[in-house]
Amino acid sequence: MKITARFRLQLLIQNGLFVALILGIATVLLIAAEKSNMRWDMTYSQRNTLSSETLDILQKIQGPISISAFVTTDADGDLRQPIIDFLTPYQLEKSDIQIRFIDPREDPFAAKQAGVSVNGELIISLGGRSDRLKSLNEQDLTNLLMRLMRTSQRSVTALTGHGEGDFARQGGKDLSDLAKKLSNKGFKLDVLNFASGDDIDPNESALIISAPTVALLPGEVKRVQRHLDNGLNMLWLVDNNSTGGLDQIADYLGIKLPEGIVIDPSARVQRLPASFALAQSYGDHAITKPMSVNTVFPYSRGILDKGSGSFSFTPLVEVAPDGWIETEGVKNATYDEARDIKGPVIIAAALEREIGEKRQRVVVVGSGRVFSNEYLASLGNADLVSNIVNWISGDDSLISIEPKIRMDMTLNLPPIAVSLIVSGFLFVLPLGLLLAGVIIWWRRRQA
């Protein structure tokens, strides 16, 4: 075939168009990659991807977030890159997150003013408020952001002196883990013993009555009712054996607390005692709307709506559709139509009413142990109590499910194993391929 000048020109034009097309496609892809936030997380349990709960919190934050990272650079390594990697997913979801790195050795005044004590510590500011983060953990950062979102610190007051769970002790029936969780959420926890003569302001705090086992004195019951008259918000955890002398408060709220323990046969499927009621579905309410995880209520009692109070009654948790309220003891419990109450049974309810210009909120939970140290970490119990306390405190916008701690699947190998892997891939494998090639070449030459 004779190659003419015209043919060479056609080939040149074709090749030029092909190169231009390739460059154009590459340019479009680069621009799209630069402007796109699309990423793929291939790690186990998606530990580099923000949870939906964190994303929900970020969407609710109004205004920019300022982060000052106090980091020194030394021979042991630079912490800046891990911090950037940790915060990048947050910046992709909220573009007005600003990060500033400060070396405490170069600017010791700034470090002293911020009270920094740990290399890599972050000072996070939002709306004129700030807090410190010492660990690169999504759960800790999200809780910190929730604390900063509160325009003012909320207070909760726990009633003591009647055998209630202790918010300071570490016993299984105590509530120190709940106290720590409330503190992490930005709540100030106070305790109140009526014998001290102290009192609470219904407009500044919510009251927690955590399953008193010793009956309150008549005068103390009247004080609780007087606070309710004044609009006090309250969380009442009811013990399965005793109402703590608060039957008058139950009547005031328009509810009935029948004696007996809820028996839930479905709990046996989960290898739990039948006296542990398992909540698999929830009522239509702001507290339970985000709940998608089961909760477990040990030794619970039912809550019935008498329909006679001024409060509106909304069931939060209903359990034991095939169970009942056992009135004769849980050992070898069997349903007795004449004595027991057939399920399903309501074991948590929200009550509301208008009182003046305020919307009063009360939550009653028919289990005194559900949020104790022993059971708080069970299934979704911690999420439920966080939502309850946010709701009775008026922080509806902060009701959410807190992000779970993701499993870290980092593989830590001993130095000898690392050396063997490096030697194998850098030396043994290439030399083996080279030797195989020489052998094949030699055999073909001999043939």
1 located within any domain: no
Average of pLDDT values for 190-214? 85
Residue percentage of the chain with pLDDT more than 90: 26
Q: How many CB atoms lie within 10 A of CB 69?
A: 21
Count how many domains the chain has: 2
Burial class of residue 154 in the structure, from the number of CB atoms within 10 Å of its CB (0-12 exposed, 13-18 middle, 19+ buried):
buried
Average of pLDDT values for 399-413? 61
270 located within any domain: yes
- Whether 159 and 253 share a structural domain: yes
Domain final residue pick, 147, 174, 196: 147
- Whether 254 and 191 share a structural domain: yes
Per residue in 1-15, pLDDT (tens digit) is 566 777 778 878 888
For residue 153, the model assigns a pLDDT of: 66
The dihedral formed by the CA atoms of 271, 274, 276 and 277, expressed in degrees to the nearest 10: 110
Q: How many CB atoms lie within 10 A of CB 305?
A: 18
**Among the listed residues 190, 197, 199, 140, the one whose alpha carbon sits nearest the alpha carbon of residue 168:** 190
For residue 176, the model assigns a pLDDT of: 92
| DSSP code per residue over 149-198 | H-SS-EEEEEE-SSSPPPSS--STTS-HHHHHHHHHTTEEEEEE-GGGT-
Looking up tokens 């194993």 gives 417
- Whether 186 and 292 share a structural domain: yes
**Is 425's pLDDT higher than 60?**
yes
Cis amide prior to 290 (ω within 30 degrees): no
For residue 345, the model assigns a pLDDT of: 92
- Whether 132 and 172 share a structural domain: no
- Whether 201 and 140 share a structural domain: no
Domain hosting residue 161, numbered range: 153-398
Separation between Cα atoms, residue 53 and residue 402, nearest integer Å: 6
**Is 403's pLDDT higher than 80?**
no
**Is 433's pLDDT higher than 80?**
yes
For residue 225, the model assigns a pLDDT of: 93
159 located within any domain: yes
CATH number of the domain at 357, please: 3.40.50.880
**Among the listed residues 257, 266, 283, the one whose alpha carbon sits nearest the alpha carbon of residue 320:** 266
For residue 220, the model assigns a pLDDT of: 93
| DSSP code per residue over 334-346 | ---TTTSEES-EE
Cβ-contact 94, 65 below 8 angstroms:
yes
- Whether 75 and 163 share a structural domain: no
- Whether 217 and 79 share a structural domain: no
SS3 122: strand
**Among the listed residues 91, 96, 102, 95, the one whose alpha carbon sits nearest the alpha carbon of residue 69:** 102
- Whether 271 and 363 share a structural domain: yes
**Is 93's pLDDT higher than 90?**
no
For residue 360, the model assigns a pLDDT of: 93
420 located within any domain: no
Separation between Cα atoms, residue 136 and residue 155, nearest integer Å: 28
For residue 2, the model assigns a pLDDT of: 64
Greatest mean pLDDT among 115-124, 183-192, 356-365, 425-434 lies in 356-365
426 located within any domain: no
Average of pLDDT values for 129-145? 83
Q: How many CB atoms lie within 10 A of CB 31?
A: 10
User: What's phi and psi for 164, nearest 5 deg?
Assistant: -70, 160
14 located within any domain: no
SS3 11: helix
- Model confidence at 143, in pLDDT bands (50, 70, 90)? confident
Structure tokens at 143: 């809780």
- Whether 202 and 116 share a structural domain: no
Q: How many CB atoms lie within 10 A of CB 68?
A: 21
Structure tokens at 387: 């939502």
Average of pLDDT values for 238-260? 92
Per residue in 338-360, pLDDT (tens digit) is 888 888 999 999 999 998 888 89
Q: Among the listed ranges 19-23, 81-85, 202-206, 214-218, which one has the minimum average pLDDT value?
A: 202-206
For residue 29, the model assigns a pLDDT of: 83
Greatest mean pLDDT among 279-283, 313-317, 410-414 lies in 313-317
415 located within any domain: no
Separation between Cα atoms, residue 240 and residue 299, nearest integer Å: 6
**Among the listed residues 219, 218, 212, 236, the one whose alpha carbon sits nearest the alpha carbon of residue 156:** 236
* Cα dihedral across residues 372, 373, 375, 380: positive or negative: positive
Residue percentage of the chain with pLDDT more than 70: 91
Half-sphere exposure of 62 (CA within 13 A, CB side): 3
Separation between Cα atoms, residue 375 and residue 378, nearest integer Å: 5
Domain final residue pick, 104, 125, 147: 147
Domain final residue pick, 382, 398, 414: 398
- Whether 227 and 360 share a structural domain: yes
Residue type, 178: L
CATH number of the domain at 89, please: 3.40.30.10
- Whether 226 and 100 share a structural domain: no
- Whether 121 and 194 share a structural domain: no
Q: What is the mean pLDDT of the chain?
A: 84
For residue 402, the model assigns a pLDDT of: 62
Structure tokens at 221: 């019951």
The dihedral formed by the CA atoms of 279, 284, 285 and 291, expressed in degrees to the nearest 10: 40
98 located within any domain: yes
**Is 69's pLDDT higher than 80?**
yes
Per residue in 276-292, pLDDT (tens digit) is 988 877 999 989 988 88
Structure tokens at 8: 């060479």
